[in-house]
């Protein structure tokens, strides 16, 4: 990729790839705090957002129209993308398939272990996006 050019009017290019990674890490910290406060709804939403923000950074340096625009679109796409490591695909699937608490008629049983799996999935995706971004040093 050529050198990054900021476009504050564009949803993706308002931040550089590195800035998207930093934003993702901040969102991940908020998700961790939400789970620590037993707010699973905010924790899961934050973990999904964190993963999507990190993937925005990767999307800048390795464009793929199939990833869509929203973080949910990104997660759905990488969950099926054989070019992405299996662990990252599985992490995306876990983030998408984990139901929001209070949604639907089923009551999901949550444990600290299941909360940590969601956070670990977001971390795996963020780590993958970081590696993709760092493969393109001129784009930061």
pLDDT in tens, 75-84: 999 999 999 9
Report whether pLDDT(111) > 70: no
Query: 10 Å Cβ neighbour count for 106?
Result: 7
Report whether pLDDT(19) > 50: yes
Q: Which residue has the higher pLDDT, 105 or 63?
A: 63
Q: How many domains does the chain have?
A: 1
The sign of the CA dihedral 46, 113, 40, 71 is positive
Q: For residues 9 and 35, is the Cβ–Cβ distance under 8 A?
A: no
Residue 97 covered by a domain: yes
Q: For residues 60 and 13, is the Cβ–Cβ distance under 8 A?
A: yes
Domain CATH for 29:
1.20.120.330
Residue 50's domain comprises 17-139
The mean of the pLDDT values for the chain is 92
Residue range 84-93, pLDDT digits in tens: 999 999 999 9
Compute CA distances 122 → 4, 47, 53, 54, 106, whole Å: 25, 5, 10, 9, 24
Region 110-118: mean pLDDT is: 83
Give pTM, 2 decimals: 0.90
Percentage, residues of the chain above pLDDT 70: 89
- Angle at the Cα of 54 from the Cα atoms of 48 and 56, rounded to 5 degrees: 105
Residue 4 covered by a domain: no
Query: 10 Å Cβ neighbour count for 68?
Result: 14
Residue 58 covered by a domain: yes
Could you say which DSSP state residue 100 is in? P
Residue range 41-66, pLDDT digits in tens: 999 999 999 999 999 999 999 999 99
Report whether pLDDT(105) > 50: no
State residue 91's pLDDT score: 98
To the nearest 10 degrees (0 to 180), the angle between helices 17-36 and 40-61 is: 170
């Amino acid at each position: 990729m050529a050198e990054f050019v900021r476009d504050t009017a564009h949803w993706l290019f308002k931040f550089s790839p590195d800035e998207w990674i930093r934003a993702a890490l901040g969102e991940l910290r908020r998700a961790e705090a939400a789970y620590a406060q037993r707010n699973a709804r905010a924790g899961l939403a934050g973990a999904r957002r964190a993963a999507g923000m990190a993937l925005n950074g990767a999307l800048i340096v390795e464009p793929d129209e199939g990833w869509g625009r929203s973080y949910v679109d990104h997660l759905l796409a990488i969950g099926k993308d054989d070019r992405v490591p299996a662990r990252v695909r599985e992490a995306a699937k876990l983030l998408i398939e984990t139901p929001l608490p209070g949604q639907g008629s089923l009551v999901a049983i949550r444990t600290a272990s299941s909360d940590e799996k969601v956070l670990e999935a977001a971390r795996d995706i963020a780590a993958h996006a970081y590696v993709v971004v760092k493969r393109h040093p001129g784009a930061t």
